[in-house]
Amino acid sequence: MNKKPKCWKKGVRLKNKKMEISNITKKRITSYLAEGKRFDNRKLLEYRKIEIESPVSKNAEGSALVRLGKTEVAAGVKLNVSEPYTDSEDAGTLVTTVELSPLASSRFEMGPPKIEAVELARIVDRGIRESGFIDFKKLCIKPGEKVWTIFIDIYPINEDGNLIDACCIAAAAALQNAVMPKYDEKTGRVEFGEFTAKKLPLTERMPITLTVHKISKSIILDPCREEEEAQETRVSFAISPKGKDCMIHSIQKGKEMALAQPEIFEMIDTAIAQWKKIYPEIAEKIKKACER
């Protein structure tokens, strides 16, 4: 009787099988995109349906749930009093975290944050911080001693591609919905669970991140899980309104594939053009959700 090949060993056969399917799927996606098609009949630069609910938590100062196609992300905002940073003693602080759990995808594992979660948190944090969306100076209680710290906690619930953009929208919506908790100036303590009607000191520069993905020679937005696995590189742009125009506040490149200068310029032009199309819709949905 012939011996079974090595690939039949426990765990190896399944792994090889997955790799083979992945390669076939990638070829199909690439060939479809070359013809201007996608598996779900969207255009190359078309976003999936965006739904926003806010608030979704009675315990958080602000919260929101964002659905981007089948991708679902919840974000919560909490506030506490702490010492300021030494280089900005009269300004509040911001801490952003993302937790990727098996609840959202079988690709994620329990345990300390992996590099993917750290990158997601940094992209969201930089977009909010660099845009000037939060007026940190107004979060100062006593210079050099006490300031408000904003904690943004983001929890993907279901991952079906484009977590970056979904997390950024959820964070922005949660901040728009947030109110200040009660603070006892005599004791210097925050009364957790008790809220005021005072909103966070936000500006008009709400950032929305658009991530441009490159698969072979095609550029797409808002990929589903399979398309995202087939990508060769991506660039995320945090963009906010500035008068009648807009401004890019941060850029984050992902994956190892290098980009030529013309490709980078094409991605920038694509991001700005598409941002101008979808930003009004997203901003209006956040506004309506927060008014409920």
* Range in 22-26, 36-40, 52-56, 180-184 the model is least confident about: 22-26
Contact 52, 68 (CB under 8 A): no
**Contact by Cβ (8 Å): 75, 157:** no
- What is the value of pTM for the model shown? 0.90
Sign of CA dihedral 111, 72, 181, 201: positive
Q: What letter does residue 6 receive in the DSSP assignment?
A: G
Structure confidence at residue 276 (pLDDT): 96
Q: What is the C-alpha separation between 89 and 1, in angstroms, rounded? A: 77
pLDDT-derived band at 14, boundaries 50, 70, 90:
very low
Task: Provide mean pLDDT across the span 78-102.
Answer: 95
Sequence length of the chain is: 292
Q: What is the mean predicted confidence (pLDDT) over 214-242?
A: 95
Tokens read off for 216: 């072979």
3 state DSSP class of 235: strand
Output 192 or 118, whichever has higher pLDDT.
118
What is residue 48's DSSP assignment? Answer: P
CA distance 271 to 275: 6
The mean of the pLDDT values for the chain is 90
Neighbours of 270 (CB within 10 A): 19
What is the SS3 assignment for 141? strand
Please give the C-alpha separations between residue 264 and each of 255, 268, 269, 273, 279, in angstroms, as whole numbers: 14, 6, 9, 14, 22
Question: For 105-150, how does the pLDDT look when each residue is reduced to its tens digit (9 = 90+)?
Answer: 988 888 888 899 999 999 999 999 999 999 999 999 999 999 999 9
